[in-house]
Amino acid sequence: MAQIDNPAGQHVNKRYSEPVLGSTDYPISSYHDLIISDIDFPENEERRRAHLALRRKREAEAHYRQVGIWYKRYFEPGTWLKRFIKLAHLKQWMERNALDVTVRPLVFEFPSLPKAFDGFRILHLTDLHIDAHPELAGRVGALLKDIHVDLCLVTGDYRFAVVGHSKRVYHYLEQVFTQINSAGGVLGILGNHDATDDVAALEDLGVRVLLNESIEVHMNHQSIWIAGVDDPYAFKCDDLPKALHPIPESAFKILMAHTPQLYSEAGDRAVDLYLCGHTHGGQVCLPGGGSVISHCNTPRRYLSGLWDYKSMTGYTCPGIGVSGAIARMNCPPEIALIELRRA
C-alpha cells in the first residue's frame, strides 16, 4: 500500500502508483475487442429531451442570477482575483503557468476489475475552458496527438463563460477533439459552465454526452460500466440513482461527475472509481497546495488529487483551463492519463 501526498493537504492510503512520465505511446488494449454499448433508443431519446428541457429552464434562472443581479460583477471571487493579480504585477507569470499543461500518468488497482480490462487506459479531461486563451487549444492538442488510449472521459466545463452563446468555443474544441486517439471514442458530461445547446455541438464533434445515463463497455466477453451525471453544482440536474439504475450490482462502475460533491452517495452505491473536476485543484493555491477558493461544498480532502471514500477510489483532476482569471499558482493544469490494473 503506497502512501501518497494529496494536493489538498491530506494523506490517503490506496493501491496506487504513479509511473515516470516518458513516452505516452504505451501498449493499449486490443481495439478490435472493445465494444461500447448503444444508448440511442426511442424511449431514451424522449427522456433526454425532457431532461434537456429541465436543464434549459435551470440555465435561464441561472442567467438571471448571473446578469440580473448587479453586485455579482463586483463581489464574485474572479473579480477580486483579477484585481489582486493586477496590483501584484503577477499577470504575465500567472498566465504562463495557466498555459503550462502537463500530462499526469496514474495507475489505479482494483481487485474487482474484470481481467479483460487489466491495463485499460483512460484519458481524463476536465474543465477545458478552452476559449480562455487563444493558445490553449493548440497546446493541448499537441500533447494529445501522441497519446493512445482505450477510452476518453470528459467531465464538463468546455467553455470559459458561464452564460451566453458558445459558438466561438467550438472551433477551439475541434482543435482538441480531433487530436484524441481513443479506441472507444469520447464520453462526456456537462458542467456548470456548459449550456443545453452545447449537447448537439459536442455530439457533432464525436462526444457522446451522458445525461444521468450509463454505458456498458465490453471487452473479451467481460464488461465495465461508465455512468455520467449532469451538473450537481449550479443547475442541480444530477440524478445518480437514475444513472446507476441499469448497472448490475456486482459490475465494475466508473462514475463521471463534474464535481466531487456526490462522493458519499456514490460510495454508498458501490461505485468503484469516481472521476471529477470543477475545483481546478484550487487554481491559485498557497505554497504546499492549499486552495484559496474551491467553489465546492465538500471537505478539503476531496478538492484535488487522489482520495478515497469507503471502498471507492476518487480522483479530482485540477483540469486544463481556468475560470475567473487566466491565472494559476502552485497548481499546474493537468491532463490525467489513467491505467486500470487488476490487483
Residue closest to 313 by CA, chosen among 251, 268, 257, 271: 271
Residues 59-71, mean pLDDT to the nearest whole number: 63
Residue closest to 123 by CA, chosen among 152, 158, 91: 152
pLDDT of residue 318: 94
Task: Map out the domains of the chain with their CATH numbers.
Answer: 42-342 (3.60.21.10)
264 has a pLDDT exceeding 60: yes
pLDDT of residue 1: 29
Q: At what angle do helices 136-144 and 167-177 cross, to 10 degrees?
A: 20
Task: State whether residue 13 is helix, strand or coil.
Answer: strand
24 has a pLDDT exceeding 70: no
60: cell is 435561464
Residues 291-311, mean pLDDT to the nearest whole number: 86
pLDDT of residue 14: 41
pLDDT digits (tens, 9 = 90+) for 122-163: 999 999 999 999 999 999 999 999 999 999 999 999 999 887
Residue closest to 209 by CA, chosen among 199, 201, 217: 199
C-alpha to C-alpha distance for 83 and 80, rounded to whole angstroms:
5
8 has a pLDDT exceeding 50: no
- 275 Cβ contact list (under 8 Å, min separation 6): 122, 124, 126, 153, 155, 254, 255, 256, 257, 314, 315, 317, 336, 338
pLDDT of residue 43: 72
Asked if 127 contacts 259 with a C-beta cutoff of 8 angstroms, the reply is no
- 283 Cβ contact list (under 8 Å, min separation 6): 291, 293, 318, 322, 323, 324, 327, 328, 329, 331
